[in-house]
Amino acid sequence: MTDMVEVRNLKKVYESQGRRIEAIRDITFTVARGEFACIVGPSGAGKTTLLKCLAGLLKPTAGEVVLEGSPVTGPPLGMAVVFQEYGRSLFPWKTVRQNIDLPLRQKGLPREKRDRLVSEALTAVDLGDAGRAYPWQLSGGMQQRVAIARAVAYEPHVLLMDEPFAAVDAQTRADLEDLVRTLWRDLGITTLFVTHDIDESVYLGERVIVLSASPTHVLDDVRIDLPTERNQVTTRATPDFAELRARVHRGIQDAKAGRPATGAVA
Ligand SMILES: Nc1ncnc2c1ncn2[C@@H]1O[C@H](COP(=O)(O)OP(=O)(O)OP(=O)(O)O)[C@@H](O)[C@H]1O
């Protein structure tokens, strides 16, 4: 597998009004093409900061992000991002179809292709009938599915998700988790998923990267060797799942306590 995303010695220091906050000290990892990696860490660990650097929305203080061999210096064309605040990420005065269509127009795609991509994406997230609705007429979970459809229609090479299900109820969240895994499996999009939820990271990922508390570095990198087909009830009940969950949990505890990772030790 070739590397899709490379994060090399990334450092981010915020400086404002004479205050200096070292959010990220030194992060290095690579994500292979087609991989599904989750990023977890305690609150304030710099997960959002890392994601903004990946998305080209924030300039690192040192180090770099390389996407498909090219350094990221601004929002890259091959990347789509889904944020937690779906309410704010959709335009209320545009219909669902128009919301999904907008980035495709900006990409300069011809009308016919755009229509096809929008329809396919709506079907993929099971919102085939909601194209003419306005976002505010939909439930929170449906709005987040629109945001996912918009990202998928864009045909990104890399999909970044920043705690996308934090604001939806538990049942909707489980459905959306399965939707994201299905889309990843069917479309092969390299996916980076930021969450503070340990169970979610193990259930979703093929790999979980555990970040330390700020100033941040990578504390543990856990391969999730669960079967590709996952089930909300049976997968979560397996001993393998429990073991992986415990390891990531220990990593987070280490992060909070400022210890080096003891994760591999039973
Ligand atoms: N614009 C900013 N200016 C100054 N400091 C900032 C800024 N954004 C974030 N920080 C600081 O950087 C550190 C990391 O913040 P960040 O939001 O990236 O963490 P996080 O892991 O996403 O947190 P959470 O899980 O609570 O959302 C925190 O100490 C935060 O206060």
ipTM given for this complex: 0.95
Pairing of the two strands 190-194 and 36-40: parallel
Name the pLDDT band for 33 (thresholds 50, 70, 90). very high
Total-model pTM: 0.90
Q: Cis peptide leading into 103, omega within 30 of 0?
A: no
Mean pLDDT of 135-148: 91
Distances (CA, A) of 4 to 24, 33, 71, 146: 22, 5, 12, 26
Of 48, 194, 216, 252, the one to substitute when testing ligand 1's pocket (max ligand atoms within 8 A of C-beta) is 48
Is pLDDT at 166 greater than 90 in this prediction?
no
Question: Residue 265: what pLDDT?
Answer: 45
Does any ligand 1 atom lie closer than 6 A to the CB of residue 21? yes
Question: Residue 224: what pLDDT?
Answer: 97
| Tokens 């959306």 found at | 176
Token pair of 243 as six digits: 């073991």
- Give the Å distance between the CA of 116 and the centre of ligand 1: 39
- Give the Å distance between the CA of 13 and the centre of ligand 1: 10
Give the up-direction half-sphere exposure of residue 99: CA atoms within 13 A in the CB hemisphere: 30
Does any ligand 1 atom lie closer than 6 A to the CB of residue 214? yes
In a domain, 132, yes or no: no
Chain segment 59-77, per-residue pLDDT in tens: 999 999 999 999 999 988 8
Q: For residues 177 and 168, what is the distance between their CA atoms, to the nearest angstrom?
A: 11
State the total domains in the chain: 1
In a domain, 90, yes or no: no
Residues of the chain with pLDDT > 70: what percent? 96
Is pLDDT at 87 greater than 70 in this prediction?
no
In a domain, 22, yes or no: yes
In a domain, 245, yes or no: yes
- Give the range of the structural domain holding residue 20, as residue numbers without chain letter: 1-78+158-165+189-266
Mean pLDDT of 144-148: 91
Question: Residue 110: what pLDDT?
Answer: 96
Give the up-direction half-sphere exposure of residue 11: CA atoms within 13 A in the CB hemisphere: 10
Chain segment 202-227, per-residue pLDDT in tens: 999 999 999 988 889 999 999 999 99
Mean pLDDT taken over the chain: 91
CATH number at residue 249: 3.40.50.300
Question: Residue 254: what pLDDT?
Answer: 79
Nearest CA to ligand 1 atom 26: 43
Nearest CA to ligand 1 atom 5: 14
Does any ligand 1 atom lie closer than 6 A to the CB of residue 263? no
Highest-pLDDT range among 14-18, 44-48, 141-145, 237-241:
237-241
Mean pLDDT of 121-127: 89
Q: For residues 198 and 180, what is the distance between their CA atoms, to the nearest angstrom?
A: 17
In a domain, 254, yes or no: yes
Does any ligand 1 atom lie closer than 6 A to the CB of residue 46? yes
- Burial of 15 from C-beta contacts in 10 A (0-12 / 13-18 / 19+): exposed
- Give the Å distance between the CA of 88 and the centre of ligand 1: 20
263 Cα distance to chain centroid: 23
Question: Residue 1: what pLDDT?
Answer: 58
Residue 230 amino acid letter: R
In a domain, 179, yes or no: no
Question: Residue 42: what pLDDT?
Answer: 87
In a domain, 260, yes or no: yes
Is pLDDT at 262 greater than 80 in this prediction?
no
| Tokens 């990531």 found at | 248
In a domain, 113, yes or no: no
